[in-house]
Amino acid sequence: MSSTRRGSSVAPQGTFGERLQAAMAEHGPLCAGIDPHRGLVESWGLTYDLAGVERFTMTCVEAFGGSVAAVKPQSAFFEVFGAKGVALLERALTELRAAGTLTVLDVKRGDIGTTVDAYGEAFLSKDAPAAADAITLSPYLGYGSLRPAIDLAHATGRGVFVLALTSNPEGASVQHARLADGRSVAGAVADDAAADNAEARGRGELGSVGLVVGATVGSAVRDLGVDLPGMAGPILAPGLGAQGATAADVRSVFSGALPQVLASSSRDVLRAGPDVTSLRARAREVATEVAAITAA
């Protein structure tokens, strides 16, 4: 889709998988969340309005920029404030990029045809107002429906994380279901991601199509035959810390794929705010803990 927009994005160098692998090696396998929901914002002594959310967000940007492998802003908490909230999100993405920190925008988009193509253009194109390094996608209109966004991500050196096994109990009714060939839906999503990562896997690199797999899903990966090592892409793993996943849980859930794990932590890190120094220190502490857990 051609566009007349003038975006502020600069084309990244190399693939997303390459950049993420390097960032994880340098800073530890942590993706720190920026989740300015009412409870967290007010716990910092801030008002839950645009000014308070701006203070919260930019404190996180200052603390995390240059200190962690990746940062994951949750788009919904910015969208609730309308155009000014989205402008704040774009500012955060831009400043994190300037700090040399990868961003994973949590938008969980999923649609068909020209609509998913437009979502890709909004977040992954070279003309996006403030493109993320990667976005989250939902495959439950069929993995193939995501093709325009995945192809655009590959073309622009960006990445995607596709929902596979989420930690919410409602997800199991879809993700655990079996297809006619006996594979689980989650397993089929992993197989499709593996196909998209085949070229990177052949080079011995981390692919740019990742999966979202909760650290709290228990034995589901094994029970459903989800081939995480064979998928050969990064695994965004929420659930460590505040959601209750332990080191033993992580090792059990991701056995054989631990080097691919990028742990996502929001509340566990954000509770250390509002002081920038304390927030940065907690992020680094959690990153060190996760590195020890996921060491092969």
Catalytic positions, written as ranges? 108
Which residue, 223, 224, 222, is CA-closest to 254? Answer: 222
Type of residue at 234? P
Task: Determine if residue 218 is left, alpha or beta; phi over 0 gives left, psi from -120 to 50 gives alpha, anything else beta.
Answer: left
Type of residue at 7? G
Task: Determine if residue 113 is left, alpha or beta; phi over 0 gives left, psi from -120 to 50 gives alpha, anything else beta.
Answer: left
Please state, in angstroms and rounded to a whole number, the distance separating the CA atoms of residues 71 and 96. Answer: 8
Which residue shows structure tokens 């801030």? Answer: 46
With vertex at residue 201, the alpha carbon angle to CA 198 and CA 202, rounded to the nearest 5 degrees, is 85
User: Within its chain, how far is the Cα of 61 from the centroid?
Assistant: 16
Which residue shows structure tokens 């250390």? Answer: 272
